[in-house]
Amino acid sequence: NKKKHDKKYHTPTMIGEKWQMDVKFVPQECKVPQIISKNYFQYTVLDECNRKRFLYFTNEHSMYETSVALRKAIEFFGYAPLILQTDNGWEFSDSVKHDDKAPTGRKYPNLLESMCIEFGIVHKFIRPRTPEHNGKVERSHRIDQDKFYRTLRFYSLDDLRKQGKVWNKKYNNMPKFVLKCKTPNEVELELIDDFHRIREEQGQKSLTSIES
C-alpha cells in the first residue's frame, strides 16, 4: 500500500501564511429538549503556525455561512491569510466551478471565490478523502469534543455563541506541547512585529479594514 504522505507536511513558521478551515456538527446531546430538532454548526478557522483559532457558530451549513465565517475570522485575526486550506465539501466548493463549457456552468466566481479574490487569498483544496491533510483543525475539534462539548448545555444559538466565545478564548490561552508549552496567543505576540514587517515588504496590508 502507498503511504498517505509522500513527504513531510510543511508547517509554516510565520502567522498568516496558511489557515485551515473546517466545519463541525454540534452534538445533539448538548441541546436542551426545546431545540433538539434544530441543527447547529461550528466553523473553525485555525492558523497553522501558532494554532490560534476563531470559532463561528450558526444554524446553517452553506457557502454563504462559510463566507460569513471567513470574513469574521479576518476581522478577529486582524489580517487575511496568504493561503486558505479546506476540504472539498460543498460549503467550500461547487461541482461546476471549473466547468465553463457545461450548460449550467458558472461564468463568474462563487461567494467564497469572490472573497478570496477580494482579500488576495489562495484557496487550496486537500485531496479528496484525506482529512489528515487538515489534521491541525481536526485535532482541535477533538479537543473541543473532550473539553467543551462533553459538558456543554445550551438553550439557543445566541447562548451557544456566548459559551463558544468563552471556550475559544480559553483555548487560545492554553499552553501546547507542539508550541514548546507556549500558548497560541503568546506565539502570536512573539511573531507579530516580524509579521507586520514581512507583509509591508510584500506590499500587502497586514490589517484589513472591514465594513460591518
Give the integer Cα–Cα distance in Å for 13 and 198. Answer: 13
| Res. 64 pLDDT band, cuts 50 70 90 | very high
**For position 208, what pLDDT does the model report?**
43
What number of CA atoms fall less than 13 Å from residue 18's CA on the CB side?
18
Q: Are strands 41-47 and 53-58 parallel, antiparallel or unpaired?
A: antiparallel
What pTM, to 2 d.p., does this model score? Answer: 0.86
- Residue 65, pLDDT above cutoff 90: yes
Q: Dihedral of CA 167/76/180/123: which sign?
A: positive
| Res. 2 pLDDT band, cuts 50 70 90 | very low
Give the mean pLDDT of 134-162: 96
| Res. 62 pLDDT band, cuts 50 70 90 | very high
Q: Report the share of the chain in percent with pLDDT over 90.
A: 74
**For position 210, what pLDDT does the model report?**
38
- Residue located via cell numbers 460569513: 68
* 190-196 long-range Cβ contacts below 8 angstroms, 24+ apart: 191/14, 191/15, 191/49, 191/50, 192/15, 194/14, 195/14, 195/15, 195/16, 195/79
**For position 91, what pLDDT does the model report?**
93
**For position 176, what pLDDT does the model report?**
96
